[in-house]
């Protein structure tokens, strides 16, 4: 079974459902209980998702075996710097290599937008996410913002970045690890 990663409008049906699932999980972990539908709706209202589209950003949806399984967004915060946001792999697809492939796809999209540095903030309780970032070359850095949920900050210099290609990279079909 293979993973595919491709840019997708943040408002598409699959992207919208992935964003809801992402918010439900991070809010539920933070509160120590499942988030209600009303809390999820409130959290997604005016959450800055409009920035996850050109020219200010991008949004990538990962599919495994054709099923929407993962997402990640990025927002340009300076001409050469983008922030990674809303990184999510549905629980049933974790451990299949999708997180690393998703990061690689978003890094490619960041390069296409001219970013040479990709940074992010995350929370202490999102242990799996922090492990994923460290495994893929992100290093902890001093705080660069004061967000209410920012407890750890990471950054990665993007190799081969610094100039915009004439066309963005094409979506790729990427093999996942064997399912033995």
* pLDDT tens digits, 61-83: 999 999 999 999 999 999 999 99
Q: How far apart are CA 101 and CA 68, in angstroms?
A: 14
- Fold for the domain defined by 2-169: Aminopeptidase (3.40.630)
38 — pLDDT class (breaks 50, 70, 90): very high
Give the pLDDT confidence score for residue 148 in this predicted structure: 85
Give the pLDDT confidence score for residue 179 in this predicted structure: 34
- What confidence tens digit (pLDDT) does each residue in 45-65 have? 988 999 999 999 999 999 999
Q: How far apart are CA 122 and CA 112, in angstroms?
A: 24
- What confidence tens digit (pLDDT) does each residue in 82-139 have? 999 999 999 999 999 999 999 999 999 999 999 999 999 999 999 999 999 999 999 9
Q: Is the pLDDT of residue 178 over 80?
A: no
Q: How far apart are CA 7 and CA 14, in angstroms?
A: 12
DSSP secondary structure letter of residue 147 = -
**Residue 118 in contact with residue 110, Cβ under 8 Å?**
yes
Give the pLDDT confidence score for residue 164 in this predicted structure: 47
Give the pLDDT confidence score for residue 159 in this predicted structure: 85
- ∠ Cα 45 11 175 (to 5°): 125
- DSSP H stretches of helix in 32-152: 37-44, 98-112, 127-135
168 — pLDDT class (breaks 50, 70, 90): very low
Report CA-CA distances (Å) from 55 to 76, 94, 118: 8, 31, 16
What is the reported pTM? Answer: 0.85
Per-residue tokens: 108: 């490619």
Domain map (residue ranges) of the chain: 2-169
* Angle of helix 127-135 versus helix 98-112 axis, rounded to 10: 60
């Amino acid at each position: 079974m293979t993973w595919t990663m491709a840019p997708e409008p943040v408002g598409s049906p699959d992207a919208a459902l992935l964003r809801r699932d992402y918010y439900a999980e991070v809010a539920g972990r933070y509160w120590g209980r499942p988030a209600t539908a009303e809390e999820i709706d409130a959290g997604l209202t005016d959450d800055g998702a409009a920035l996850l589209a050109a020219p200010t950003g991008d949004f990538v949806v990962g599919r495994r075996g054709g099923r929407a399984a993962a997402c990640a967004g990025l927002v340009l915060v300076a001409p050469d710097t983008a922030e990674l946001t809303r990184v999510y792999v549905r629980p049933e697809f974790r451990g299949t290599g999708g997180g690393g492939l998703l990061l690689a796809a978003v890094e490619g999209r960041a390069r296409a937008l001219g970013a040479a540095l990709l940074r992010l903030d995350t929370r202490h309780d999102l242990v799996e996410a922090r492990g994923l970032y460290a495994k893929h070359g992100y290093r902890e850095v001093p705080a660069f913002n004061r967000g209410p949920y920012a407890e750890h900050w990471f950054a990665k210099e993007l190799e081969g970045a610094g100039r915009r290609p004439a066309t963005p990279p094409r979506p790729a079909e990427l093999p996942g690890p064997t399912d033995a």
